[in-house]
Amino acid sequence: MNLKKLVAISDHFPNCASSRKKAVSGCGLGFVSFFIFLFLLFSTFFLKNPNSDKVFFQGFNTTKDVTFVQNSTQLEQSPKILVSETTAESNGSNLDIRLNLVGNEGKGNIHFGNFTSNVKNDSFNGISAKVVDFKDTHLIKLKDDAKNGTSGAITMNPNEGKVSNFQEIGSGSVKSDGLEQDHGKNSQNLRNFSSSFEDCDIFHGRWVRDDSKPYYPVGSCPYVDRDFNCHLNRRPDDEFVKWRWQPFACEIPSLNATDFLERLRGKKMVFVGDSLNRNMWESLVCILRHSLRNKKGVFEISGRREFKKKGFYAFRFEEYNCTVDFVSSPFLVRESSFKLKNSSFETLRLDLMDRTTSMYQDADILIFNTGHWWTHEKTSRGEDYYQEGNHVYPRLKALDAYTRALSTWAKWVDKNIDTHKTQVIFRGYSLTHFRGGQWNSGGQCHKETEPIFNTSHLNNYPSKMRAFDNVLRVIKTPVIYLNISRLTDYRKDGHPSIYRTSHKTMSLEQRIAAQDCSHWCLPGVPDTWNELLYASLLKVGSGSWKI
């Protein structure tokens, strides 16, 4: 029998046959049939993905009923984030965040990027709070023995001990300060970058090691107050300058000093408040100055180099026709006196703003703070000190007086600030780290060389900031709140401690007995406040900061 059997193709595929039939062998037919089977199998898989009920995009794996705030462009610029209800092993090559969404089983419309908007005491909506141990910040993990429950987890495994910065933003490359130096390109790059943090709580995160810090070399800025210049005062370690703030939910741009100055061109920025705001002001002056080739074009207009006395100080950046000023007003409200027939005594008018308001009312950007002077020691223990109208309170608690003063500030802002011209910012309370006593009773932070890593060692949200939260609810003027309390609480290592000039003639025992655990070394933590100021202004995007 002939093993070859002729088979007409038209018998199997009549629609494909021509008027003239062709024949192929059985062996050939088998090959063709096998090929067609593979084609049909591939088509079926392609058209009906077994995982079609999920959305996959650059590390995101979530059910389709989850609504993302970011668009596809924004996702491409975000760190690799996996949102899932199951955990898996990290690949270790990217920032890999896993969030178990609590209380949303079976619910859709989870807006990612907004989940830390109301952080208080290390808890936030939709995700249970956990005690975080950052002892090994090079390989960060959240402990399973959570203080307030065990559901949910965030695991971060930065590559080689560091959370990588974006190497490209938009079509431009990223330089050491975060963005290209050309302002036109910066605007486009920042527009792309900002989308990744515009809905993020940039104040909820942790400190990660970053050897590329600080923004200006230690000892390079002549305008750092001697009390803040820990390098000049011979602090032996410099590890405190090698930390970067990393929000949990997003990346933030480094402070691009050239771009910052370009946006300030022709404008006036003023810091108003106590010596902690002076700490921040000096930091920004040094960051911006370091970016300029002609540093002689940066000077305090009155020629002063000491800024500890109360008054008004203005640094002019001649190339950009702008000023960055500081107005000393530790209470924001007016220090006054109450006159009797034959004598008088000092008071604090809780119902009147300080007389310095004329120095900054016309500013384009205002950064306020107050808090560290609201203590019993600096307010006569609240006895016969606080005044409203012609009434002096025989006794009033500092927190109550502070709240009344903030209300006065809010009313003044609403009445006197032109929101079409001026952006108002309030910087939150900076935590202190006195152990064994307070600033005037032997409190110390000497020999602290690394941040706090375990969140169970942190303080609660400061009561003064709770008071400010209440004021924010009633003020009509849009206010940017730099909520830096939490991030400063970690940094017990960043204070001058015994390394301040006023103690240089004292013995070691005397210096240890009187330490500064309130202010911050420069370079240091206030540089991060200015980095977050920069990011916050970009987020709001008004005036020259609109991107």
Task: Write out the catalytic residue numbers.
Answer: 275, 516, 519
Q: Which position has the token pair 């009445």?
A: 415
Contact 206, 200 (CB under 8 A): no
Question: 71 CB contacts (<8 Å, ≥6 apart)?
Answer: 195
Q: 454, 520 in Cβ contact below 8 A?
A: no
Three-class SS state of 333: strand
In a 10 Å sphere around its CB, with 0-12 CB exposed, 13-18 middle and 19+ buried, how is residue 539 labelled? middle
Alpha-carbon distance 526 to 275, whole Å?
A: 12
- Specify the amino acid at residue 345: F
Tallying the residues shown for the chain, one arrives at: 547
Q: Pairing between strand 172-173 and 168-169? A: antiparallel
d(CA 157, CA 96): 6
- Measured CA to CA, the distance from residue 324 to residue 137 in angstroms comes to 35
Q: The tokens of 125 are what?
A: 């909506």
The answer to whether 424 and 477 are in contact (CB under 8 A) is yes
Can you count the helices (H) and strands (E) in the chain? Answer: 11, 23
